[in-house]
Amino acid sequence: MKTIISLEGQQEAIATLVEAFAQNKSVRQITGRKDNPKKLRRLIRYALEECREFGKVLSDDSGRAFALVIYPDLQKTTFASLRRTLYFICRIAGLKNSLKAFIKENELKSLKKAHFVSGRFYYLWFIGLRNKDQGRGLGTALLREIMADAKRENRKLLLETSTETNLPFYWKAGLECYDVLKISFPIYCFHCED
């Protein structure tokens, strides 16, 4: 597993995650119901920039599987983060979808507080690979490395998914679903038992 720093690596991460999340319900709630690759690309770039400032951008050693990790306890208001929030509202989600996203995030924060005492989380925001690379074990290997990295950093690994077909992937890796947020679709909240 390696941290992505180069511009080429970031561009490949964005392209890969755009393909991986094209049909994701949570993403579509933000970018709009119809297929909008331009907004999806902006959303992934937004998330990547947040993770570069308050977390990390990772890839497997082959450079075909990518993950965006954020440390919520390190997030703070900076000029760059304010600029990104305005960009999110104006160029990605729009006001109505931004409000939905912020409400959803507050509900997810409440669930985390209800289940966990520690505020040192390793939040796996996005993990994915291109469709042609599915089923080769690349995602599983990257997830296992991420789980080990979270443990080394003494942080609790958390993630959410709205893609029900991904549930066996997370269960097989040893993650536990600690709650389900029910909005217009279910969001399954997972954590890694230490």
pLDDT for 105-147, tens place per residue? 999 999 998 999 767 999 999 999 999 999 999 999 999 999 9
Q: Which two tokens stand for residue 157?
A: 């690994």
pLDDT for 95-113, tens place per residue? 999 999 999 999 999 999 8
The pLDDT score that the predictor gives to residue 194 is 66
What's the mean pLDDT in 25-49? 91
Domain range for 147 is 2-192
Q: Which of 191, 157, 128, 163 is nearest to 29 (CA)?
A: 163
Distance, CA of 12 to CA of 101 (rounded, Å): 26
Check pLDDT > 90 for residue 64.
Answer: yes
What's the mean pLDDT in 65-85? 96
Q: Which two tokens stand for residue 43?
A: 């959303």
| Overall domain count for the chain | 1
Check pLDDT > 70 for residue 77.
Answer: yes
Q: State whether residue 138 is helix, strand or coil.
A: helix
What's the mean pLDDT in 176-180? 96
Across all residues in the chain, what is the average pLDDT? 93
Residue with tokens 């990605």: 92
Q: Which two tokens stand for residue 16?
A: 């890969």
CATH of the domain at 126: 3.40.630.30
pLDDT for 9-21, tens place per residue? 999 999 999 999 9
